[in-house]
Each structure stands twice: as structure tokens, then as C-alpha cells.
């Protein structure tokens, strides 16, 4: 079976798997003493999920374009290039560009590495995301697979192993890397912090289930043997936990004569529960490069406007990620001749730095009036059609070339001599 068919089969089998099979597999893991879904527990933590969502959607929002420097030192969109459609619109038959790049970014953050198989070339190019957990990276310094040392990506699926050279895989790694070859995920870097956040959420869930009653003391007089004590505690627990709710017994706990039931309540304020959770949330967000306001913490917001917030997020967080994507794509998908000819991939960050309409119009009007944009270029940025005569640079009539600056104050020497006579 070809690897392309393997990936298609894997996708189909994923959607056909039943909930019952998942539960049985989890039970088997627990029987073997293995935590069945650590990834699922981490991603269910609210702050971790919010950070992953912000970053993956931020990359998915950005249109990826193939650009080229022209002879006039300008930049034009290379829509006629054979790679443009695959990268800008449809990397593979099952994913749009937005879904594809957001999924790549999700894997890059969650596992520390995202791997994309480059299948085909030109108009037949297809990009397939390989499961990060099924890919190993080896360095062939012994030259066993090629004449030159190279990085080898080994993908395991269905009991088989597939080897890919470095030129066949797009490898996007996190910034947390010690040797520059393999990234380290945030969940591995912050394992203890994330485990604590997950446990705190579980504790809160249990407290909700128990009506914020942590434990209780059952007082009684006289003596009871161990079996009677266990039976009494079991019956009391059944009434208190709502196990008999199907029989209409929800809020009543019967206590025998001479017994008393004293609940031990837990006050979250006494344990600074909220403060500790907020501190953990800020630690997790900081590791991702996410600003506090992006996870709903507006206590220390000091930005003058929404545009300033987005600019800070772009410069402090997204710029490194985007630059890595652009460099990897340009190196792996373009030939040396195309790179020398000025072709390069670039994400359009204007979509997240876009101001309100009034500010956009004012900025574009200033650009048109100062010979930066032609009217049609400014109209294109507002998604308006071009107009006849709008392809010429316009500006203030008082503007002159820099080399002629001051010439208007110099009188003709000949004319000055005639006046003296």
C-alpha cells in the first residue's frame, strides 16, 4: 500500500472509530498502569487550550503568498507559479489552507515538532501532515542511506517504517531546542506546572460534585466492629453522594440515634486557590508567548488601543514563528535558481495588524498623496476594483526630486549680469 493511501486510510479510520472502542482502550491502559490520555488531560486545561487556540488560529488567519522581486526592485504576487495554489488555497484534497496551517501550528506547539511530507512537485504538489508521535529523527553520519550525511525522518505506520530525506519533509520546531534539530514542547518544559493546573481543575470538579464538602466526620457512641463501621460508612456515603437519586433520595442523609454527621468544608479563599490558579495560568501563557489579555486577564492591560495589542503580539510572539515557516518553505519548496530569481514565501500579516476603516482610509490617502501608493493599489487594499487612470503615482505638486532641492533659489548668472548693466 502506498504511503498516500496509508494516510487516507488513517484519516478515514479516525472518523469511523467508535466511542466504545476508545473507552475499552482506555480501560486496558489503566489495567496496565499506563495513563491513557495525558495529552487529552493537558489540552483540557483551560489556559493551555486557550494558548494553543490563539497561536493555531493566528497562523491559520494569515494568507500565505508566493512573491517575487521584479526588475524595478518591487514585489509582485507570483500567482502563475505552479506552487501558488497548493500553498495559498489547498495543500491537500482534505484541508483548506487555513485548516492545514493551524493544524501544523497546533502540532508544533503541542509536541514541539510538526512534520509535513512533501509529495509530488509543481502543480501536482500535495502536503501531508504526519503524526508527530510517529516520526523519529536520525542523523545518517555513517552514510548508510546516502553518499552525504543527512537527516533522516523515519515514519512508522501500520507496522511499517518509511524513510524520508531532509528535502522531503517540512520540519517546523518550537523555539525550545538544545541542538537546533528537534524542538521541545511546552507541555514537557512545564510538566509540573501543567500537572498542577490539571489537578487543581479536577479538585474543583470534585468539590462541585460534593457540594464543596471535602470530607466529613461521623461521630457515634459505643463500639462497632470493623465490618459494621464499613457498612455504616458505605451507606452514609451512598446517601451523601447522591447514589440513591434514582429512588428520589437526593438531599437527605439518615443518621441513627446517637450518631452525628459533621461535614468538613473547604474554603478556597483560605488556601489562596484563585491566586495560585491565576499565577499558574500566567506562567503557562508566558511560556507560549501569549499576552495575559488573550487568556481573559485584563487586570494589568496597558495598551493604548487594539492595534497596539496586536502589534505587540506580532512582534513579541508571531514574528519568530512566521519567519521560521517562511524560511523552511522557501528552502525546501523552491529551487536555488528560483530563490536567486527573487521568489520567496511570505505570510500576509496585514490581516492581524489591520486598523479600523477610518484609520485605514486616512493612512492610504496619505500614502497616495506622497507617491507611495497609486490610487488603484490603495483601492486593492480595500478590496475595491481598479479604475481607469488610477495606475499613476500622484502627490503634492510642490514636491520635487531630491537632487533639485534648492534649485528654485538659484538665479541664472547670465540673467543677473544683464540686470547689472
Q: Looking at the domain assignment, is residue 289 inside a domain?
A: no
Last residue of a domain, one of 274, 299, 332: 274
> CA of 417: how far to CAs of 408, 409, 421, in Å?
18, 17, 7
At residue 93, the pLDDT reads 93
Distance CA 347, CA 325 (A): 9
In a domain, 374, yes or no: yes
CA dist 416 and 376 (Å) reads: 46
Establish if 325 belongs to a structural domain.
no
Contact present, 329 and 375 (Cβ < 8 Å): no
Residue 32 within a domain: yes
Q: Does residue 242 sit within a domain? A: yes
> Number of folded domains in the chain?
3
C-alpha cell at 340: 536567486
**Which residue is associated with the grid cell 512537485?**
121
Q: Which residues of the chain have pLDDT under 50?
A: 14-23, 25-26, 28-36, 413, 421
Q: Is the CB of residue 132 less than 8 Å from the CB of residue 111?
A: yes
Q: What is the pLDDT of residues 46-79, one digit of tens each?
A: 788 888 899 999 999 999 999 998 776 678 889 9
E strand spans, 73-203: 75-77, 113-119, 126-130, 135-139, 151-157, 160-165, 169-173
Residue 235 confidence (pLDDT): 77
Contact 153, 143 (CB under 8 A): no
3-state SS assignment for residue 67: strand
What residue numbers bound the domain in which 268 lies?
192-274
The answer to the question of residue 91 being in a domain is: no
Task: For the beta carbon of residue 8, count every other beta carbon within 10 angstroms.
Answer: 16
pLDDT score recorded for residue 2? 62
Domain-ending residue, one of 258, 274, 290? 274
Residue 421 cell numbers, joined: 548693466
Give this prediction's pTM: 0.67
With cell 489556559, the residue in question is 47
- Listed residue (95, 101, 107, 114) closest to 43, CA to CA: 107
Boundary-marking domain end, from 246, 274, 302: 274
User: E-strand spans in 246-383?
Assistant: 259-265, 343-347
pLDDT score, position 92: 94
Residue 304's CB: how many other CB atoms inside 10 A?
7
First to last CA, the chain: 101
Q: How far apart are CA 197 and CA 35, in angstroms?
A: 17
d(CA 5, CA 369): 56
Residue 399 in domain:
yes
> Does residue 269 lie in a domain region?
yes
For 73: left if phi > 0, alpha if psi spans -120 to 50, otherwise beta; the answer is: left
Instruction: Centre a 10 Å sphere on the Cβ of residue 177 and count the other Cβ atoms it contains.
Output: 13
Q: Which residues share a beta bridge with 377?
A: none
Cα dist from 306 to 43, 51, 299, 313, 355, whole Å? 28, 19, 16, 11, 8
Task: Identify the pLDDT of residue 322.
Answer: 94
Partners of 137 in the beta sheet? 153
Counting beta carbons within 10 angstroms of the beta carbon of residue 131, is it exposed (0 to 12), middle (13 to 18) or buried (19 or more)? middle
Amino acid at each position: 500500500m502506498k504511503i498516500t493511501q496509508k494516510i487516507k486510510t488513517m484519516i478515514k479510520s479516525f472518523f469511523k472509530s467508535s466511542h466504545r472502542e476508545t473507552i475499552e482502550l482506555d480501560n486496558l491502559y489503566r489495567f496496565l498502569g499506563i495513563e491513557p490520555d495525558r495529552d487529552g488531560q493537558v489540552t483540557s486545561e483551560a489556559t493551555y487550550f486557550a494558548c494553543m487556540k490563539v497561536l493555531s488560529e493566528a497562523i491559520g488567519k494569515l494568507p500565505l503568498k508566493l512573491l517575487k522581486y521584479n526588475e524595478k526592485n518591487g514585489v509582485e504576487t507570483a500567482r502563475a507559479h505552479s506552487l501558488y495554489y497548493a500553498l495559498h488555497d489547498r495543500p491537500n484534497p482534505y484541508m483548506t489552507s487555513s485548516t492545514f496551517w493551524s493544524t501544523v501550528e497546533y502540532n508544533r506547539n503541542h509536541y514541539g515538532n510538526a512534520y509535513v511530507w512533501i509529495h509530488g512537485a509543481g502543480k501536482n504538489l500535495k502536503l501531508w501532515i504526519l503524526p508527530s508521535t510517529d516520526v523519529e529523527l536520525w542523523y545518517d553520519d555513517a552514510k548508510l542511506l546516502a553518499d552525504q550525511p543527512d537527516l533522516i525522518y523515519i515514519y512508522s505506520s501500520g507496522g511499517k517504517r518509511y524513510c524520508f530525506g531532509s528535502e522531503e519533509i517540512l520540519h517546523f520546531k518550537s523555539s525550545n531546542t538544545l541542538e537546533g534539530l528537534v524542538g521541545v514542547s511546552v507541555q514537557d518544559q512545564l510538566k509540573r506546572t501543567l500537572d498542577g493546573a490539571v489537578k487543581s481543575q479536577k479538585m474543583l470538579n470534585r468539590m462541585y460534585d460534593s457540594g464543596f464538602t471535602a470530607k466529613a466526620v461521623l461521630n457515634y457512641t459505643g463500639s462497632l466492629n470493623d465490618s459494621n463501621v464499613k457498612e455504616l460508612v458505605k451507606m452514609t456515603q451512598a446517601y451523601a453522594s447522591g447514589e440513591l437519586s434514582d429512588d428520589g433520595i437526593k438531599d437527605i442523609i439518615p443518621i441513627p440515634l446517637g450518631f452525628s454527621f459533621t461535614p468538613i468544608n473547604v474554603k478556597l479563599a483560605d488556601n489562596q486557590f484563585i491566586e495560585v490558579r491565576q499565577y499558574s495560568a500566567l506562567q503557562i501563557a508566558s511560556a507560549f508567548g501569549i499576552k495575559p489579555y488573550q487568556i481573559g486577564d485584563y487586570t494589568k492591560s496597558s495598551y493604548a488601543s487594539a492595534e497596539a495589542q496586536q502589534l505587540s503580539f506580532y512582534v513579541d510572539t508571531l514574528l519568530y514563528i512566521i519567519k521560521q515557516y517562511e524560511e523552511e518553505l522557501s528552502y525546501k519548496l523552491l529551487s536555488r535558481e528560483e530563490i536567486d530569481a527573487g521568489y520567496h514565501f511570505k505570510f500576509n500579516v496585514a490581516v492581524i495588524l489591520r486598523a479600523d476603516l477610518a484609520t485605514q482610509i486616512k493612512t492610504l490617502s496619505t500614502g497616495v498623496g506622497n507617491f507611495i501608493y497609486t490610487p488603484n493599489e490603495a483601492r486593492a487594499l480595500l478590496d475595491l476594483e481598479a479604475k481607469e487612470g488610477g495606475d499613476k503615482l500622484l502627490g503634492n505638486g510642490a514636491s520635487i526630486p531630491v537632487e533639485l532641492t534648492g534649485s528654485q533659489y538659484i538665479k541664472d548668472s547670465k540673467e543677473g549680469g544683464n540686470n547689472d548693466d
